[in-house]
Amino acid sequence: MRNKAAALLAVIMTFACFAGAQKYRIKYSVDEKDPISLENAIRLALENNYELLLTEQDVVISEQRLKEAKFLYLPEISFNAAATGYNLDSPIVLPDSLGLRYIAPAKDHDTDTLFYGLGVSATQYLYTGGRISSTVGMAKAGLKEAMSRYEAVKYSVIYQVKEAFFEQLFLQRKEALLEDMVERVESYLKGKSYKQWERVLIQAERAKMKSKVNALKEELSSANLKLINVLNKELNSKVVISGEFDFNPINVDLAKATLWAMEFRPELKSALYKLEMDNISVKLSLARRYPNILLGIGYDRQGEDNINDENIQATLALKLPFGYDYGTQLKQKRAEQRQSNLKRAAIEDSIRSEVLEAYNNLMFWQEETAVRINTWDAINKELGSLNYNTLSKEEAIKVFNYYYEAGVDYLEGIKEHMLAIAKLELAVGQDIRE
């Protein structure tokens, strides 16, 4: 029967923990045959990421610690019932765990007697020098700090998804460009006569194109594996993605982005909550010098062979704790407080540096990508009016190679610009596109 009860309790606790965790993430399921958009890939990663699931449980644990801390405001209530067999030569007082009852020797020392007791007591702290409120405040700051760490991991996962997703989109379009280039070359070479040295040239160029195709297949395979790992899917999964791959310039004000980062970055919030916890720790160290004022109420029935005797008591007590480590504890907590202040300042400097670096990177790729797009458009325009019959075969193959290289640069510029936006959003801690 005990085994069944324990099993039932385990099931209930597991379900309760699972239910509590669900509000921190969105459940998402996807058919492997359907293309995955960026938004759905992010949802899938947030649902399955191992580190995010761990920090999610930290939030659940912190919530329960806050509830436990609030229980300190409630009175401590205890019930006790006891039957004591005794044969005494002198009076005794039972230990606190057994009811703290006074028992006198029986009149007949040769007779073993039973002493019965039944009671209830309640103890309420009326004043603790701020210890209880500080403990609750510590638990609240701990919960906020856990939630900030969760947000930091979430933003990191989102960036990892974008990085893998954009790389996959880039390689897909690079593959299409390479296929187009190979088709153009083969179409040009078809039906022509060649000199011997030209046949050597063509064989060498075909070998290079084959190597490019094989290298691109390997890149696609590695990119697909990276995306599968980010989504935390089985390694034999087949992930098909779809999404926009365009150049969309944005206007960003560096000063505003830096202010946003100071407001939204979860790492800075976490550092501020850690500083708050250290401030509370200093208060708790100081509060140890203050007395506790308690109110205790008890009702007890006791007696030999019956419980006819009735005892009622109410006690107002003052308890002043004494410890040798008051000074050392206070110095320790103040040193930890200064450490947190220094760490917060260092995090602020690091965030400003990250925002500036990400902003400069975005500005570079915003300008560079525009140049590469213009170059690509100009090359396509020239190729549209180019008469290949006026070129030698060596010149024609060079033109096709230039076409492919310019196309790769164009696609790479778009990818890097999209990644630059994602990096700046990660540095700021929120979406920067208006």
Q: Tell me: the pLDDT tens digits for 356-379?
A: 999 999 999 999 999 999 999 999
pLDDT at 58 over 60: yes
Lowest-pLDDT range of 68-72, 113-117, 424-428: 113-117
Of the candidates 432, 429, 434, 431, the one whose C-alpha atom is nearest the C-alpha of residue 261 is 429
Please give the mean pLDDT across all residues of the chain.
84
If you search the block for the tokens 């109420």, which residue do you land on?
297
27 band by pLDDT with thresholds 50, 70 and 90:
very low
pLDDT at 407 over 90: yes
Residue range 159-206, pLDDT digits in tens? 999 999 999 999 999 999 999 999 988 888 887 777 788 788 888 988
Burial of 418 (0-12, 13-18, 19+ CB in 10 A): buried
For the record, the structure tokens of 306 come out as 């019956």
Q: What pLDDT does residue 355 have?
A: 95
- Identity of the amino acid at 147: M
Dmax over CA atoms of the chain, in Å, equals: 132
- Identity of the amino acid at 181: M
Q: What pLDDT does residue 302 have?
A: 87
Lowest-pLDDT range of 123-127, 140-144, 146-150, 237-241: 237-241
Q: What pLDDT does residue 110 have?
A: 57
Q: What pLDDT does residue 306 have?
A: 78
Dist CA 315 CA 352 (whole Å)? 59
Greater model confidence, 279 or 14: 279
Extended strands (E) in 259-337: 292-304, 309-319
Q: What pLDDT does residue 108 have?
A: 64
Q: What pLDDT does residue 247 have?
A: 94
Q: Which residues pair with 319 in a beta bridge?
A: 292
Q: What pLDDT does residue 369 have?
A: 96
Percent of the residues in the chain that have a pLDDT greater than 70, as a whole number: 90
* DSSP labels, 101-126: -EEPPPSSTTS-EEEEEEEEEEEEEE
Residue range 255-266, pLDDT digits in tens? 999 999 998 899
pTM reported for the whole predicted model = 0.79
Of the candidates 143, 183, 188, 114, the one whose C-alpha atom is nearest the C-alpha of residue 20 is 143
SS3 content of the chain, % helix, strand, coil (to 5): 65, 15, 20
